[in-house]
Amino acid sequence: MPSIQENNYLTENIVVELENKALTINIYDTPLGHRFIGALKDNLQNKRVLEKNFCWLGWADSKRDLRYLVRELNENIAVINKFDFDPAYQTIHPFVTDDFQYSRNNGLRLKHDACNQLHRHFEELQGSAWQISKFYLQANYATKYSIRQLNNLCHEIESWVNANRKKHYKPDWIRPSQITTFLNAPRHLLHDEDFELFKTNRYDRELGGVYLHWSQIGKTLYEVFRDEHAPKMTDALCSEINHQKYYSGEFDVEWGQTITESNTFKKEEMDEFRSWLKANNYDWEDPKLALGYIKIGQVDLEAAFSSQSFLEVYKAMKNNLNIKSIHVVGSQTCKNDYPYTLESEDWKKIQIDYLREGYESRSLR
């Protein structure tokens, strides 16, 4: 196990019920593990809405393919363009599928420029967790919702294009994941001791591994290195970077094949990343830079799938991309059900109505 001593788990665990499968998640017995479970139970007890339209990323066989996602994106752009901001915000031009993906002749690769442009619009319109944008503050509820979707759909498009490419050329290396987030989930500052967990796991990703969710706006140093092709750092790029400092009772599950620095290609990438950090005066050993992913637990793959080969797990999971309920099981069971799906006629209204409660309680009007 790449991050925490094996079997050193809390007595409480998480059960995620899917369409026809249940996943048991064991959480590592660390101070952060205890606080994370407490934050998750708070999300369940307060019946916060599970963000189902930003849950399953990188599934090449998902019905939410590039055509679907670009159509959704343009519908939300139209809502944003219609709102009368003061001062006015620039018109966002609609996108087409070719903006995000090269042709089959060019390897079906992702076009980063469109994604970077979209993410900049989102950051300008929403701001950061500690400085909300003037545009976001004045937007009505439907427009706030659509601004949020710029970020969600940007990441989902990136993940789908990369997965679709891998499906055609390297199916063993599709990188599907599960992003388990709740609307209006409270954020909490990481403790000083928690930052060492970034160094413990670094950028290892394990099949069935459970990782602390990124619950803030902005890019990490690793994302800038990877997406911008190891650029020389400028003031503009530095302004995009936010080192992780929050946890939120939300979690991500890695459903791709395990990757660590024992894989030659990963070791080469990490060596290049470390060299790039040094050239730009960043210290790989500085825990506050949050260089890595905090691994907080592990899905019990044996219980859920018997066999643990990636392709068999992927085959079983691709028809289960809907969370029906989440429990925390221990001395006192805590559970919430999620009967709505993306096919429900009112799923968008459910989200907007719940976001409204959060906006009003925090005076983000």
2 within some domain: no
* Cα dihedral 282→219→57→158 (10° resolution): -100
Question: How sure is the predictor about 365, in pLDDT bands with cuts at 50, 70 and 90?
Answer: very low
Looking at residue 241, its pLDDT comes to 85
Task: Phi first, then psi: give them for residue 334, nearest 5 degrees.
Answer: -125, 125
Instruction: Provide, rounded to the nearest whole percent, the portion of the chain with pLDDT above 90.
Output: 74
Looking at residue 244, its pLDDT comes to 94
Quote the CA–CA distance of 308 and 79 in Å, as a whole number. Answer: 44
Nearest to 211 by CA among 245, 186, 247, 241: 247
Quote the CA–CA distance of 315 and 347 in Å, as a whole number. Answer: 27
**pLDDT higher for 196 or 237?**
196
Looking at residue 361, its pLDDT comes to 40
pTM listed for this prediction: 0.86
Quote the CA–CA distance of 142 and 202 in Å, as a whole number. Answer: 38
Q: What residues have CB less than 8 Å from 84, skipping those under 6 apart?
A: none
Q: pLDDT tens across 252-289, in order?
A: 999 999 999 999 999 999 999 999 999 999 999 999 99
Looking at residue 363, its pLDDT comes to 39
User: Are 209 and 252 spatial neighbours (Cβ–Cβ below 8 Å)?
Assistant: no
**Once rounded to an integer, what is the mean pLDDT over residues 344-350?**
80
Beta-bridge partner residues of 23: 16
Q: pLDDT tens across 36-82, in order?
A: 999 999 999 999 999 888 899 999 988 899 999 999 999 999 999 99
**Once rounded to an integer, what is the mean pLDDT over residues 95-121?**
93
- At 3, list the tokens: 């991050």
User: Are 354 and 48 spatial neighbours (Cβ–Cβ below 8 Å)?
Assistant: yes
**Alpha-carbon distances of 161 from 98, 112, 223, 254, 269, rounded to whole Å:** 11, 11, 17, 17, 21
Per-residue HEC secondary structure of the chain comes to: CCCCCCCCEEEEEEEEECCCCEEEEEEECCHHHHHHHHHHHHHHHCCCCECHHHCEECCCCCCCCHHHHHHHHHHHHHHHHHCCCCCCCCCCCCCCHHHCECCHHHCCCECHHHHHHHHHHHHHHHECCCCECHHHHHCCHHHHHHHHHHHHHHHHHHHHHHHHHHHHHCHHHCCCEEEECECCCCCEECCHHHHHHHHHHCCCECCCEEEECCCCCCECHHHHHHHCCCCCCCHHHHHHECCCCEECCCEEEECCCCECCCCHHHHHHHHHHHHHHHHCCCCCCCHHHCCCCCEEEEECHHHHHCCCCHHHHHHHHCCCCCCCEEEEECCCCEEEECCCCCCCCCHHHHHHHHHHHHHHHCCCC
**Once rounded to an integer, what is the mean pLDDT over residues 126-145?**
87
Q: pLDDT tens across 330-345, in order?
A: 877 899 999 888 777 7
190 within some domain: yes
Q: pLDDT tens across 138-158, in order?
A: 999 999 999 989 999 999 999
Instruction: Reply yes or no on whether the pLDDT at 364 is more than 50.
Output: no
Nearest to 351 by CA among 149, 62, 134, 123: 149
Looking at residue 6, its pLDDT comes to 58
Q: What residues have CB less than 8 Å from 132, skipping those under 6 apart?
A: 126, 364
175 within some domain: yes
The 10 Å CB-count burial string (b at 16+, else e) for 318-353 is bebbbbbbbbbeeeeebebebebeeeeeeeeeebbe
Domain of residue 262, residue span: 9-361
Q: What residues have CB less than 8 Å from 87, skipping those under 6 apart?
A: none
When divided into structural domains, the chain yields a total of: 1
Instruction: Using DSSP bridges, classify how beta strands 22-28 and 9-17 pair: parallel, antiparallel or unpaired.
Output: antiparallel
1 within some domain: no
